[in-house]
Amino acid sequence: MSIDADRIRSDFPALGQKIYGKPLVYLDNAATTLKPRCVLDALQRYYSVETSNVHRGLYLLSEKATSAYENARVAVQRFLNAPHESQIVFVRGTTEAINLVAQSYGKTVLRERDEIILSTIEHHSNIVPWQILSDQTGASLKIIPVNDNGELILEEYAKLLNHRTKIVAVAHISNALGTIHPAKKLIEMAHSYGATVLLDGAQAVSHLPVDVTDLNCEFYAFSGHKLFGPTGIGVLYGKADLLDMMPPYQGGGEMIRSVTFEKTTYHRVPYKFEAGTPGIAGAIGLGAAIQYVNQIGFDNIIAHEGDLLSYATAKLAAFPGVRIIGTAREKAAVLSFVIEGVHPHDIGTILDKEGVAIRAGHHCAMPTMQRFGVPATARASMAFYNTRQEIDILLDSLHKVREIFH
């Protein structure tokens, strides 16, 4: 089955609108994805007729909300092929998931002179938490370099690994360049030195199937809003033994078994890490988004986005004055580029007037920009609801940019 773009696009109300009188061409999917109607309906249903808190109420509405919330956890477990739903912790997003691991697991195991390995092309959310942890523990950061195509240099990674390496934290897919890292190989190499691996899957979950059991990573993090779900909800997967040994990240209601002024005992995993009223609607919406993506199928998504990437890359590479930043052999549908003599912010502003939404800036990846010697890039990132016709509109709009500046 191939993707019927017209039918799929009708599932996304946002795509029916006009921007400055022109049809919206949405190419900022790496920042956040649009939401299908089934997700909006799930949110509407919860807030309209099933509003209640979870786990605590003995009345019907609370039981319905609790069931929907926990069913979403099971949906995530199956989506990631995790061994058990208790290994799925709901958080606010990838950022909180990484901070949770850093401040709970990292603070527990790291000692002075231990080492954490990151890559050159990480999102700030997978840099700053480790810097904070480094300052707290005396551990040091080691950085995997990338080649001119934006690919990790595995030989240099191998040189960084040693008996002091305790944590390796890398993106599954680079948000700024679209590079798909050889995650399984990275994990195997880290494990040969006894290191723990966290994968930042924020960009991966909408583009390719993720099997945490096959990957054998200790932790995997992603955000709902990049998987056609709501904002404010995310997931941390962790291996059961590690989650069990980790202390709570936050204290409050729900994460306890009993509280006295003398002592508090904590709830079991995953609730130990879900203090307070959780993002109930967000989790329910994420469950609906996962069901939607599963219905389309990753074979179809990969084929469609691969066609879009090839088509757009060829068009952009032939465009006068364009330099594509990130030309890895294995890439998701992300194109970062610069045009000679034009600041990316100007590109983004002019394209907006044509109804084309792209991202312009450093993409929360300043070290990536420094590595490639640019202050910022324009980034067009695609999803399965995008079309070749929209790529043509992007290129036509870029010609208007060139007319203005040249």
Residues marked active site are found at 364
Q: Choose among 173, 174, 168, 200: nearest CA to 186.
A: 168
Q: Choose among 382, 381, 347: nearest CA to 361.
A: 347
Sign of the alpha-carbon torsion through 288, 291, 295, 301? positive
Beta-bridge partner residues of 146? 152
Q: Give, in degrees to the nearest 5, the angle at Cα 370 between 368 and 372.
A: 75
H/E element holding 8? helix 5-9
- A 10 A CB-CB count for 79 gives 24
Residue ranges of E strands in 2-122? 18-19, 22-23, 25-26, 88-91, 115-119
Cα 113 to Cα 109, 142, 143, 162, 375, distances in angstroms: 12, 12, 15, 12, 33
Beta-bridge partner residues of 197? 168
Beta-bridge partner residues of 142? 117
Q: Calculate the dihedral angle through the C-alpha atoms of 75, 79, 84, 88, rounding to the nearest 10 degrees.
A: -80
C-alpha 49, offset from chain centre: 31
Tokens 């949110």 -> residue: 43
H/E element holding 322? strand 322-325
Cα separation, 284 vs 6, whole angstroms: 27
Cβ(385)–Cβ(29) below 8 Å: no
Q: Which two tokens stand for residue 24?
A: 């919206």
C-alpha 163, offset from chain centre: 30
177 phi and psi angles, rounded to 5 deg? -115, -20
Q: Choose among 350, 278, 364: nearest CA to 92.
A: 278
Cα separation, 55 vs 53, whole angstroms: 7
Strands 219-223 and 88-91: unpaired
